[in-house]
Homo-oligomer: A and B are copies of this chain.
């Protein structure tokens, strides 16, 4: 063992499991530790503090350990300013760049701690030329000459601590198994929607076309009309199916009321797109009275912003669809700062995409009939997500009903 360094941790580090993760990581990586100072918060509102000396098997190992501990909220005792290096070219990351988490982050520059704006996972931190502000920047936006933060020193993150109060709906990730009581879970989600609005934050829906297939178009449209959802992230499919259903009563040619395939109904999908093409946009189709109900109609009527991102399996697509994936990502990012809660329903692609752009403190509920969608979302870093194994066709009517019941009280 050659070298060693001191790190410090504070906050509710025992009951949030942070201290455990720190010590585990050191042992997992082959390092050793000595706890130099440990003052435990005696009561539930007191915070604890630890100072730990870390030893690695060699300097490389020590760096690796420090880097891992950083992601658990540890910081070096001897904090200096961050190191900055200009990017050598557009979209070329400098060696040793600091890769963001989705936790609240600060950097030290000119001996002051400044807040990193627009935090989002797997980005770089770019500092403004005057060194007064810093911003999480995805690789695709990195410009030659941008000042990029290198390494972990001078960077401080705040991993989520468990709440001090005995809350109804624990804000913590994990799949709610298909064996839990459905109505109870949905009532909690309904309360969170109402609470998010009380805090002045917005609720976004990330939705897939199964919302329409499974017969939940009307319940979902009501959620927009009644102001429960404020932003829509979706693809060409959700919008087209919604418009098809509201123009022709079918979704991919199936009559949603009777469950039967309508003859020549498979063309309705293209007719729906065509009607919007002729009008010029969804907004114009609503304004000229062509489209008079449904999810997209309610979005237009209530000026709910929507981002329809294209994908390679799209038919059409609708004129409102952004076919370039990078442009669509940027458009989604515009709305992230105002969001307090996201409902992700029956779409893996869009859920992961939106999840990637969200800070860790945004309440994220993901509903899918397939448990593996939920697992993948969390594996991809949206670890704060609460997964519910359920069916959109049952979920939306039950959620709307619970919202109405709560509002009546």
Q: Is there an interface contact between A99 and B313, defined as CB atoms closer than 8 Å?
A: no
Q: Is there an interface contact between B67 and A263, defined as CB atoms closer than 8 Å?
A: yes
Contact of A264 among B64, B91, B178 (CB under 8 A): B64
> How often does this chain occur in the complex, in copies?
4
A24 located at the interface, meaning its Cβ lies under 8 Å from any Cβ of chain B in the complex? yes
Stretch of A107-115, A253-261, A284-292, A293-301 that contacts chain B: A253-261
Cα distance, A77 to B334, chains bound together (Å): 57
Contact of A138 among B64, B315, B349 (CB under 8 A): B315
Contact with B along A179-209 (1 / 0, CB 8 A): 1111111001000000000000000000000
A221 located at the interface, meaning its Cβ lies under 8 Å from any Cβ of chain B in the complex? no
Contact of A42 among B24, B34, B325 (CB under 8 A): B34
Cα distance, A355 to B225, chains bound together (Å): 37
Contact of A323 among B44, B271, B325, B350 (CB under 8 A): B325
Cα distance, A395 to B94, chains bound together (Å): 38
A222 located at the interface, meaning its Cβ lies under 8 Å from any Cβ of chain B in the complex? no
Q: How far is the CB of A190 from chain B (nearest CB, A)?
A: 13
Contact of A32 among B43, B316, B390 (CB under 8 A): B43
Most buried by B among A179, A267, A270: A179
Cα distance, A177 to B314, chains bound together (Å): 21
Q: Given A91-B316, A312-B325, A349-B312, are A267 and B99 also a contact pair (CB < 8 Å)?
A: yes
A130 located at the interface, meaning its Cβ lies under 8 Å from any Cβ of chain B in the complex? no
A404 located at the interface, meaning its Cβ lies under 8 Å from any Cβ of chain B in the complex? no
A16 located at the interface, meaning its Cβ lies under 8 Å from any Cβ of chain B in the complex? yes
Cα distance, A95 to B264, chains bound together (Å): 12
Most buried by B among A139, A390, A397: A139
Q: Which residues of B contact A266 (CB under 8 A)?
A: 99, 122
Cα distance, A214 to B35, chains bound together (Å): 39
Contact of A391 among B38, B122, B271, B391 (CB under 8 A): B391
Q: Given A184-B259, A266-B122, are A44 and B32 also a contact pair (CB < 8 Å)?
A: yes
Within 8 A of B (CB), among A52-111: 64-65, 67-68, 88-93, 95, 97, 99
Q: Which residues of B contact A184 (CB under 8 A)?
A: 215, 256-259
Contact of A20 among B14, B44, B64, B269 (CB under 8 A): B14
Q: Is there an interface contact between B372 and A315, defined as CB atoms closer than 8 Å?
A: no
A310 located at the interface, meaning its Cβ lies under 8 Å from any Cβ of chain B in the complex? yes
Cα distance, A364 to B272, chains bound together (Å): 30
Cα distance, A309 to B34, chains bound together (Å): 50
Q: Is there an interface contact between B389 and A369, defined as CB atoms closer than 8 Å?
A: yes
A375 located at the interface, meaning its Cβ lies under 8 Å from any Cβ of chain B in the complex? yes
Q: Is there an interface contact between A20 and B27, defined as CB atoms closer than 8 Å?
A: no
Q: Which residues of B contact A313 (CB under 8 A)?
A: 349, 352-353, 356, 380
Contact of A274 among B41, B91, B185, B259 (CB under 8 A): B91
Find the B residue at minimum CB distance from A93: B274
Q: Which residues of B contact A64 (CB under 8 A)?
A: 263-264
Most buried by B among A16, A34, A177: A177
A213 located at the interface, meaning its Cβ lies under 8 Å from any Cβ of chain B in the complex? yes
Task: List 7 A-B pairs, Cβ < 8 Å.
Answer: A15-B23, A91-B274, A182-B394, A184-B258, A310-B326, A311-B353, A312-B350
Which A residues are within 8 Å of any B CB, using their own CB?
A: 14-17, 19-20, 23-24, 26-30, 32-35, 38, 40-44, 64-65, 67-68, 88-93, 95, 97, 99, 122, 138-140, 162, 164, 166, 175, 177-185, 188, 210, 213-216, 254, 256-259, 263-264, 266-267, 269-271, 273-274, 277-278, 309-317, 323-329, 332, 348-350, 352-353, 356, 369-372, 375-376, 379-380, 389-391, 393-395, 397-398
